[in-house]
Amino acid sequence: MPRPGPACLTCREKCRKCDRQKPHCRRCITKGLVCAGYPEQFRFCGIASRGKLKGARIPVSNHRRPNAPTVVDTQRTSPEQPTPETFVATPQSAEEPVLVAHSERPSADPPDDIAQILRLPETERLLNHYDSFICPHQISEIGEDATNPYRSYILPLARQQIGLLYAVLGLSASHLGRLTEDQTMHEETAVEYRMKAIRALSEEIRRSQASILKEDEQDAVLAMIQILLLHDISESGISTHGIHITGAMSVCKRLLISDGLSGHRQRAVFFLGNIAWLDIIRAFAGPERLCFSQDIRELVACASDSMFEMVNGCHRDVFLIIGGVMEKAKEYTLGWLSWEEYQIAILVAKHKLVSWHKEGKAYPSSDPRWLAVAEAFQHACILRILRLLDPSRPAQHPEIQQCVARLLDATAAIPADCPLIELLILPLFMAGADNLSPHSRYYVLARMKEIEKRSEFRNPVPGDLLEKVWAARAAQPPGEERNISWTDFTHCPGIARQHDYLII
């Protein structure tokens, strides 16, 4: 028999048996840990395949071939110590992982390098674009205000933490390159900064497992993850292999052990709240992908201020109910819960959500349209519960169509010139997945176009999935009412860790 390969570094550190699955140990994933990879020094980094690097396998080192694409390595070595080659393997398809091999030495640049980067004209341009164009659309009502946390929290941290600086520059270069049709900026500059950010994030998460990071370092990791997720959303809507949110869970556990979630960590609470909501959204496509626990969601909901709703739209009451639902769905999917126990838990949660009243709740402002936003998310989550209870129920069922109608009526109360419209991608998508009439489908796509035009961010996933669902329904024989689930199109056979579909 061939000798089995070495255990992953995380299992070796914890002195437990490793299943040696590649690219990541399933034992680590099941326990919500970040698998540190194997001693061969290859580790998944989830970089999108596009531009000049698309479909190619390019070895990059200090001795580059003439005319080879440039990939800058953030690590520096002395002349006496040879620099190991860095291999970038870009995927042929969305199912194939991307691997980056690098030295095990820390990759963070010293503060002098941060100052040097900040002095570059390109850096100033990209940071200004992030500040002026990207920040205002990430949070409702206070978009242009100086208190915008994407401005007041992230920009000061980015001037101290090199990995977060790279992430912000990568997102800004991608967005600005697309707006100005600058192909080099979009396909090369953005990818280069993104690669550096992912390297730095990988190193910081690994450090956090061995020691307690400082407060600014913890917050920078969480901010880095959120910026990388925004980059994913703006490019494809898909976060490859779901590594970013899982990494956030690892840092969150360390934060809770060392400090807990309290009022003085409002910056960390802000980032964790947003990532915890994205964790629920990715679990909509597959409950087994849920990473955060209900206890953490309750801590986040208790410690968060009104910025949680301003960023995510979903009222925190609904957030907790649907989070508990997805946790039960995960337990059932993994065989930890019987069918009877699962059905009872989901029915109880459904009753809570149906009987939840939007009136009398706390909202970020007195604008009455917040009630319409809350109702839209309420019925979007009810639709997800109905599908968990009976995935085969046809879309024509009266209970489903009644929910779709109430959801669409709620979104119709938000005009195109209202900043709250940018929060409604998920409710519109959930209604679109189960609506049946051409005029309703037209309405859903038209509203998504309004959001894209207003926000200048395009997430292609919602529209693409809806088109696939509608085409599959149209291809059904006359009289057949078998349900076509949008989740059928979010599963990639042959990969252990599914991609995250971020429908926001």
Would you list the DSSP string of 348-364?
A: HHHHHHHT---TT---S
Per-residue pLDDT reduced to its tens digit, 205-237 = 888 777 878 889 889 999 999 999 999 999 889
In three-state secondary structure terms, 239 is strand
For residue 42, list its beta bridge partners: 101
At position 467, the amino acid (one-letter code) is E
The CA distances from residue 315 to 90, 277, 307, in Å, are 39, 11, 11
- 87-96, 249-258, 285-294, 444-453 — which is least confidently predicted? 87-96
Backbone torsion region of residue 69, taken as left when φ is above 0, otherwise alpha when ψ lies between -120 and 50, otherwise beta: beta
Per-residue pLDDT reduced to its tens digit, 365-397 = 999 999 999 999 999 999 999 999 999 999 999
CB 46 within 8 A of CB 244: yes
Per-residue pLDDT reduced to its tens digit, 287-344 = 999 999 999 999 889 999 999 999 999 999 999 999 999 999 999 999 999 999 999 9
CB 279 within 8 A of CB 291: yes
Q: What per-residue confidence (pLDDT) applies to 58?
A: 35
pLDDT tier for residue 9 given thresholds of 50, 70 and 90: confident
Q: Dig out the tokens for 223 from the structure.
A: 């901010």
**Residues 6 or more apart whose Cβ sits within 8 Å of residue 17:** 7, 11, 27
Q: What per-residue confidence (pLDDT) applies to 263?
A: 59
For residue 89, list its beta bridge partners: 57, 99
**Residues 6 or more apart whose Cβ sits within 8 Å of residue 158:** 127, 164, 165, 167, 168, 223
CATH superfamily of 1-43: Zn(2)-C6 fungal-type DNA-binding domain (4.10.240.10)
Quick check: 196 pLDDT over 60? yes
Q: In the chain, what is the straight-line distance between the N-terminal and C-terminal CA atoms, in Å?
A: 49
Q: In whole numbers, what is the pLDDT of the chain averaged over residues? A: 82
Q: What per-residue confidence (pLDDT) applies to 14?
A: 63
Who has greater pLDDT, 259 or 383?
A: 383
pLDDT tier for residue 15 given thresholds of 50, 70 and 90: low
For the chain, the residue count is 504
| Secondary structure letter of residue 103 according to DSSP | -
- 59-73, 134-148, 419-433, 480-494 — which is least confidently predicted? 59-73
What average pLDDT does this structure show over 468-487? Answer: 92
Cis peptide before 69 (omega within 30 of 0): no
- 98-102, 214-218, 376-380, 429-433 — which is least confidently predicted? 98-102
pLDDT tier for residue 171 given thresholds of 50, 70 and 90: very high
Q: What per-residue confidence (pLDDT) applies to 208?
A: 79
Strand 86-89 and strand 238-239: the pairing is: unpaired
Q: What per-residue confidence (pLDDT) applies to 105?
A: 36
What are the structural domain ranges in the chain?
1-43, 357-492
